[in-house]
């Protein structure tokens, strides 16, 4: 896949304890992105954060080590990202999803032996 120029970045913020059918929510999102044929997805675990509840969760306090923020980041063309968005609605995610316009300046995957 070639990806360059204007694109959209979809970032989905969820808690690390959120699940979908006994599987981490971030894993479900990554697998759906993969099945949809998008360019790729990465998951980033936060060290500290808060959201709509205004409760700060951090790795520094053992009692508050649960519900840490996780960001799933996907970059692809606007058309492909927007076509994927209804899948997020199907998951009934409690969290935040944002879109940013980005410019892809380099995208190259490893050559897969065939």
Report if residue 19 sits inside a domain: yes
Report if residue 114 sits inside a domain: no
Q: How many whole angstroms separate alpha carbon 36 and alpha carbon 54?
A: 34
- Quickly count: other Cβ atoms within 10 Å of residue 14's Cβ: 26
Report if residue 1 sits inside a domain: no
User: How do residues 19-32 score in pLDDT, each as one tens digit?
Assistant: 999 999 999 999 99
The CATH number linked to 39 is 3.30.70.120
Residues facing 104 on adjacent strands: 5
Quote the pTM value.
0.82
| Higher pLDDT among residues 109 and 90, named by residue | 90
What would the two tokens of residue 91 be? 């998951």
Under the banding of pLDDT at 50, 70 and 90, the label for residue 5 is: confident
């Amino acid at each position: 896949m070639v990806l360059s120029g204007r694109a959209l970045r979809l970032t989905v913020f969820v808690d690390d304890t959120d699940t979908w059918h006994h599987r981490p929510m971030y894993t479900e999102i990554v697998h759906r992105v993969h099945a949809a044929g998008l360019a790729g997805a990465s998951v980033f675990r936060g060290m500290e954060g808060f959201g709509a509840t205004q409760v700060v969760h951090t790795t520094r306090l053992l009692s508050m080590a649960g519900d840490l923020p996780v960001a799933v980041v996907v970059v692809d063309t606007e058309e492909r990202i927007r076509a994927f968005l209804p899948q997020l609605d199907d998951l009934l995610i409690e969290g935040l999803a944002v879109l940013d316009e980005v410019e892809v300046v380099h995208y190259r995957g490893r050559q897969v032996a065939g």
